[in-house]
Every structure is written in structure tokens, then in C-alpha cells.
Amino acid sequence: MLTKRIIPCLDIKNGRTVKGVNFVNLRDAGNPVELAKIYANQGADELVFLDISATEERRKTLQKLVLDVAAQVDIPFTVGGGIASIADVDRLLQAGADKVSINSAAVNRPELINELSSKFGNQCIVVAIDAKQVEGEWLVHLVGGKVPTKIKLFDWAKEVEKRGAGEILFTSMDNDGTKDGFANEALKKLSKIVNIPIIASGGAGNITHFKDAFIKGNADAALAASIFHFKEIGIPELKMSLKQQGINVRI
């Protein structure tokens, strides 16, 4: 049976991890490759690297990072952040990334999803959607939730599937950073209206939150950052506990 996936997310700036990490056995806490290896050994099912640097050098730095990760890590990983063209995606996949995630570029020009999936296959195109509720309606937001659009989350999800997205990474900006749990109702609805895997993101604070995302939210995977980086929850204990509660995970 296909297992539910646990995905740590690493924010990257100029080739280094941004959020502080709290790993005693890590020689260089800012080195994303070292951190990635630790997560892989602990049983993470996948990794996401989100590049938030805004320098001229970003493309080269990110490509170098992808090469280093691909050389040393033996689980799949996705790269996102500022990806806007076929050439960007080609470079990252050539360097060894398994998937890329696109966000604003897809909202600005939805045809990009069609172009990418027909060139590279839909299995490697993740569309990241950030959304929050405005007067009871889930609306897509850009720039890390700062800029609202008029696009409705569920319409957009259907559209990206139709255009060839292989997976949706849904971040609820209402839940992100709260540690109050994932947006399970919205997740559940997403799973119902599209037939591609959904990765839940935003709100992880404890083990029950993951369980709820899988059971109440029907998510196929759950992503979190700080609770893993600050060792609030260890991946082995998380997966063991989920398994004991009847959720199919890889141990």
C-alpha cells in the first residue's frame, strides 16, 4: 500500500539554510546538505528546498546546491522558489532535482504548467498554492501570502490539475506558523475535487496534527519546517506514533 509521506522543508538563502536549526550532531547548522542527510537517515520520505534568495547569483548557487544534494542524498527532493521558465526547470532537473515546484509564475502565466508538464512530464511538476480565507472564501495569495489575488483556491486547484500539475503543495496562510494544525477542511475538499496527490503545509505543531491531516484532511503527504528543525518532533517518533495509530507510513 502506498504510504503517507512526511516531508521536511528547508528554506534556503544564498545556498544556506535560513531558519535556525537545533541539531547537536550537525557540524554546520547552515549547510543544507548536512541537514538533508540527517533527515534522510531519520526516515524523511522526501525533502523540499525552498529558495528565498533574491540575488543575481541565485541561479548558479541553487544549481550547485541541487548537485550537492543529489550527490549525497538518496531520497527524492523538490526544489522551489522563483522558478519561472522552462530553462530554470531544465537546469534544476539536469542537476538532479526530482521535482520542481512553481507558484507565482504559474498564477501569472498558467500556460507555464502546460509547457512544463508536456516537456518534463507531470510527475515532476508540483504547483504550490498559498491561500487564506478572506470573508469566508479561500483565495490564492502570492509573495508568501502577502499579496491577495481574486483567484479562488478550489477553482485554481482544478485548473492546475487540468493543465498538467502532478501534485499540489497547499499551504494555508491562515494556519502557517500557528502550530495549531493543518487546514483539514480545505485539504479534504481539495482531495475530493482533484485526482492528483495533495501535500499539506502550514500549521504542524504536534503529532496529532499530522494524523488529522491524513485522516480528516485526506492529505497524501504533510510538510513541516520549524518543528523538525527545532527538534520539537523527531521524524522517527512521529512516524512510529502514526503507525501505531493505524496510518500507513514507511518505517
Partner 1 sequence: MKTIIINYGAGNIQSIKFALQRLGVEAILSNKAAEIKCADNIIFPGVGEASSAMRMLKENGLDTIIPTLQQPVLGICLGMQLMCNASEEGNTQGLGIFDTEVVRFSQHVKVPQIGWNTIKNVKGTLFDGIRENEYMYLVHSFYAKKCSEMIAETEYDIPYASALQKNNFYGVQFHPEKSSKAGSKLLENFLKL
Q: Would you please indicate which residues are annotated as catalytic (active-site) residues?
A: 11, 130
In the complex, the residues that contact partner 1 under the rule CB under 8 A are 1-5, 40, 45-46, 67, 70-72, 74-76, 93-96, 98, 118, 120-124, 166-167, 195-197, 220-221, 250
- Closer residue to partner 1, CB minimum distance, 201 or 226: 201
DSSP track, 154-168: HHHHHHHHHHT-SEE
- Closer residue to partner 1, CB minimum distance, 42 or 149: 42
Residue 197 and residue 219: Cα distance in Å, rounded? 8
Cβ neighbours around 182 below 10 Å, total:
29
- Closer residue to partner 1, CB minimum distance, 41 or 108: 41
Q: How far is the CB of 108 from partner 1 (least distance, A)?
A: 25
Residue 62 and residue 53: Cα distance in Å, rounded? 9
Q: How far is the CB of 64 from partner 1 (least distance, A)?
A: 13
Q: How far is the CB of 198 from partner 1 (least distance, A)?
A: 8
Torsion sign over Cα 72, 76, 80, 85: positive
- Closer residue to partner 1, CB minimum distance, 166 or 217: 166
Cα–Cα distances in angstroms (integers) from residue 52 to residues 41, 79, 101, 113, in the given order: 26, 11, 13, 21
DSSP 249: B
